[in-house]
Amino acid sequence: MSPYHALMPLPKAELHLHIEGTLEPELAFELAARNGVALRYPDTEALRQAYRFADLQSFLNLYYELMAVLRTERDFEDLANAYLARAAAQGVRHAEIFFDPQAHIARGVSMGTVVEGLWRALEKSRQNHGVSTRLILCFLRDESADSALTTLEAARPHLDRITGIGLDSAEAGHPPAKFREVYRAAADLGLHRVAHAGEEGPPAYITEALDVLGVERIDHGLRCAEDPALVERLVRDRVPLTLCPLSNVRLRAVDSLADHPLPALLDAGLMCTVNSDDPAYFGGYAGDNFDAVRDTLGLGEDRLRELARNSFLASFLEDDEELRAAYLAEVEAYVFP
Ligand SMILES: [Zn+2]
């Protein structure tokens, strides 16, 4: 059997996935036509060519530009269904999905349109795709702390749909502590808390996210490797890292996949998971990321099974431990090809 795509069926949870980052060129054009939005690109191939970036900021520029095609509940429903179908085909059994409401509200699309649109796909996801889901509202860290508070307030009528909060977008110069207040408010509302930290920002941002924001998982976090005391703490406290190898290569957080610290982080005893981040832009979905780390980093079956097991252990399934146990049993029963 060809090694390519070998790990698609390995059962896994995806814990670091921005739904806006699953917008494939074909769907972008379909939604643009439906909504009468003009795109700067003549066709899908030209747009696909534009999905090449020098760094995080150049990616974010296109990411925000293309959101213009998302206008109605149906658009968000279609976006989520397209992701869930692709994820299911790559072995994803559970997905904790990030969304960026501020980017939509800023262009006149309401919180209700975004959340209820996504929910239309998510509430039927187990029956339609065999994937259980959770929804995580992310704040844009390059926006103000006040804007984050207003956004949480706008989400209040929809909190029965939302499991937790996160923090994303341009990291450098926007330390976690800026969002102390909104994280405290979210904790009071009983929401789970995660944050991007240590992707382009320094290891100190990881420490700050833990100490000041009280986060339960670190999104990315690969730069923890620069601080041995921090690694020791993350190992001791079993803090999960949601790593995104193909994203790190595309956004130049690492020089090449062969240089990715994943094997070293696993050897150090860290609770690592592998995820796709913005798969339409970064060259692959969850299974593609698993295949890539296996082929390029030489991870053996024990390590790959550990990554899959970690993804369910680190997921916010504490309200359905029976389901988590069933997923974990699937991981242990999985026979590698
Ligand atoms: Zn991310």
Q: Cα(80) to centroid of ligand 1, in Å?
A: 17
32 domain-assigned: yes
179 in a domain, yes or no? yes
Residue 6 banded pLDDT, cuts 50, 70, 90:
low
- Provide the annotated binding site: 16, 18, 196, 277-278
Burial level of 182, CB count in 10 A (0-12/13-18/19+)? buried
Nearest C-alpha neighbor of 99 from the set 42, 35, 191, 22: 22
Q: Ligand 1 centre from 335 Cα, in Å? A: 30
2 occurs within a structural domain: no
User: What whole-number percentage of the chain has pLDDT above 70?
Assistant: 98
Question: CA-to-CA distance for 319 and 311, rounded, in angstroms?
Answer: 16
| pLDDT tens-digit map of 40-51 | 999 999 999 888
Q: What pLDDT score was predicted for residue 3?
A: 47
- For 75-129, strand residue ranges (E) read 92-99
The whole-number average pLDDT for the span 52-62 is: 81
Using the structure block, give the residue that is written with the tokens 């382009």. 200
Q: Looking at the predicted structure, is the pLDDT value of residue 94 above 50?
A: yes
Could you tell me if residue 337 is inside a domain? no
pLDDT at 172: 87
Residue 329 lies in a domain: no
pLDDT tens digits, one per residue of 120-159:
999 999 999 999 999 999 999 999 999 999 999 999 999 9
Please tell me the distance between residue 333's alpha carbon and the centre of ligand 1 in angstroms. 30
Q: Are 238 and 271 in contact (CB under 8 A)?
A: yes
Is pTM beyond 0.85 here? yes
The CATH number of residue 144's host domain is 3.20.20.140
Domain of 220 in residue numbering reads as: 12-315
**Binding site for substrate: which residues?**
278
Higher pLDDT among residues 58 and 301, named by residue: 301
C-alpha of residue 329 to centroid of ligand 1, in Å: 28
Question: Residues at the annotated binding site for Zn(2+)?
Answer: 16, 18, 196, 277
Q: What is the mean pLDDT of residues 292-306?
A: 95
Q: Is pLDDT of 2 > 90?
A: no
Residue 330 belongs to a domain: no
In a domain, 35, yes or no: yes
- The total number of structural domains in the chain stands at 1
Calculate what percentage of the chain has a pLDDT beyond 90: 89
Residue 223: predicted pLDDT: 96
Query: Which residues are known catalytic residues?
Result: 199
What pLDDT is attached to residue 119? Answer: 98
What is the Å distance from ligand 1's center to 272 Cα? 15
**175 assigned to some structural domain:** yes
How many Å lie between the centroid of ligand 1 and the Cα of residue 18?
6
Whether the per-residue pLDDT at 113 is higher than 90: the answer is: yes
Interval between CA 219 and ligand 1 midpoint (Å): 7
Q: Which two tokens stand for residue 322?
A: 């029976």
| 194-245 confidence digits (pLDDT tens) | 999 999 899 999 999 999 999 999 999 999 999 999 999 999 999 999 999 9
* Mean pLDDT rounded to a whole number for the chain: 95
What is the rounded average pLDDT of the residues 63-84? 96
How many beta carbons lie within 10 A of that of residue 194, not counting itself? 27
235-287 confidence digits (pLDDT tens): 999 999 999 999 999 988 899 999 999 999 999 999 999 999 999 999 899 99
Q: Which residues surround ligand 1, an ion (CB under 5 A)?
A: 277
